[in-house]
Structure 1
């Protein structure tokens, strides 16, 4: 298997369910990979995009959220938790097979966490406890 971004696919825990970026045109699980999209645009695009996204998350100025300094490539299924809407409907926002940028940050002075996730169009900050329990949407917006 070959990658577009330079990751060693053979050392990835997901390699058994993935054909690699080279064989799939940057869609390793059948959906887009944000890292591959950036890398296809040029050598510096990944760094530029991540800096722009970090700035967008930090500009939200959420008082008890620590500064966002790192973003990781995350398969949607790892972070795609369910949210209850006011009408009682339970939904998920992300594609389980797409690769996004995200991270988990500890909420200051709390045992709860913030989960951050984004793609080329939308960013989300959610707050939750444990393994995505009692999830609440803090921000979901178009950003780019």
Structure 2
């Protein structure tokens, strides 16, 4: 079963039975939103590729040391929605478990930590974490320069 965007992400998802799949939910897995499905429904594959390219440019323009983004992948929110400790001790999650984001994991040279990237039509998130998402720290969370 191919998804709306043409990828086989539904077949690879361990939660397909609970969700029903991209086509069955019209691009709203678990009741959330999928960036790829919305782009494809709105303007086809060309729009999706354009949005992906814009996001890559936005991430690279941030000027974060050792952050060079070449590609973005579809990521399930429940998989990348880490819990962060704010300076006041409060625990927060910044993403929605049921949305599908564009993002990536970028290894930080000379470190055992990685950058985690996630974006949708409204925001960019860059965090840093250790193996398995240990000790995540927010590097940047901001409103996007442009929206879909």
Deviation of 1:83 (Å): 0.4
Q: CA deviation at 1:132?
A: 1.4
Count matched residues.
Answer: 143
Residue deviations 1:55-99 (CA, integer Å, cap 9, x gap): 00000111122x101101001011111100111100100111110
CA distance in 2, matches of 1:17, 1:42: 28
Which portions of structure 1, spanning 4 or more consecutive aligned residues, are displaced by more than 6 angstroms? none
Separation (CA, whole Å) in 2 of partners of 1:24 and 1:13:
15
1:75-86 alignment runs, 5 A limit: 75-86=76-87
Flag structure 1 segments of 5+ consecutive residues without an equivalent.
none
Structure 1 length normalisation: TM-score?
Answer: 0.92
1:9·1:20 contact (CA, 8 Å) conserved in 2? no
The 8 Å contact of residues 127 and 135 in structure 1, kept in 2 or not, is answered as yes
TM-score normalised by L of structure 2 = 0.90
Structure ranking higher in helix proportion: 2
Structure 1 CA distance, aligned partners of 2:134 and 2:58? 26
